[in-house]
Amino acid sequence: MAADWTRKRISEHIWYKEVLCPCGCIDKDNPFLYVDPGVIALFEIWRTFVGHPLPITSFYRCEKHNKAIGGAVNSFHRLGAAIDFIDSQSELTASYLSRLSTVVGAGGLGIYPDEGHFHIDCGHLYGFTPTRRWRGREGG
């Protein structure tokens, strides 16, 4: 009997099943799911810093799902290089955002207060402008 790989962790706080496209598809164009280790490291550093769970709402997305939810055409989620997560246990203060920005470093950081989530990515490693920051859909 084959092992159930969806019950495995890819890091201390990320389950493999959280990486998969939310639509449950198998990406026919990319049968080997690539996950950027840089974005995993950023998430793990922040998760350890806050000391409580940060539910992941989106990691890898197939092209069809990304389009259906209005994601950017060249979304880093398509590359497994972005994570959206919720932090409902922390107060969204200037200090919190400054610390998160420091952890993300040169990568992208999007804050979506109306939707209740954060976006982090390693876009700078793919040739995009370093230290991109935005708030809400209009900014990113």
Burial of residue 45 (CB within 10 Å: 0-12, 13-18, 19+) is: middle
Report pLDDT for 30.
Answer: 55
User: What are 16-65's pLDDT values in tens digits?
Assistant: 888 888 887 865 555 557 789 999 999 999 999 999 999 999 999 989 99
Statement: residue 7 has pLDDT above 80: no
Neighbours of 119 (CB within 10 A): 22
Tell me the residue type at 82.
A
Roughly what angle, to the nearest 10 degrees, separates helices 94-104 and 37-50? 150
Pick 130 or 47 by higher pLDDT: 47
- For residues 125 and 13, what is the distance between their CA atoms, to the nearest angstrom? 23
Q: What is the pTM of this model?
A: 0.88
User: What would the pLDDT profile of 62-79 be if each residue is shown by its tens digit?
Assistant: 899 999 999 988 899 999
Enumerate the β-bridge partners of residue 83: 120
- The CATH number assigned to the domain with range 31-139 reads 3.30.1380.10
